[in-house]
Amino acid sequence: MSENLGSKFLTKTEKLYLEALAKYPTIKDAALALGVSPRTLYNWCYNFRKRYEARRGWINSVLNYKRKSALITKILSKRVPLEEVGEE
């Protein structure tokens, strides 16, 4: 795993999921690679955003991933429901 991911702000699971989301083009592909259901990953993304959206450290950590993946940009956008993101 990368060292510049804001390790003091993200748990191991959060890093693992975010790295998978940055690596794969869809949530379905990332979920298959992680061995979880796509719905589990959708729910995790939703809860992750809600839990950390107010933290400045979260913003800095996620910006590293956002630069790598257009999918993460869509996931973090409040304008696009998660169901639409996974349909690509």
Structural domain includes residue 79: yes
Measured between alpha carbons, how far is 33 from 16 in angstroms, rounded to an integer? 11
Domain of 59 in residue numbering reads as 12-86
Question: pLDDT tens-digit profile of 6-48?
Answer: 556 678 888 999 999 999 989 999 999 999 999 999 999 888 8
* pLDDT tens string 69-84: 777 777 777 665 556 5
Structure tokens at 45: 């993304």
Confidence (pTM): 0.55
Closest by Cα among 14, 39, 8, 26 to 69: 26
Torsion sign over Cα 61, 32, 42, 87:
positive
Answer yes or no: is 3 within a domain. no
Query: Element (H or E) spanning 50, and its range?
Result: helix 38-52
| Count of domains observed in the chain | 1
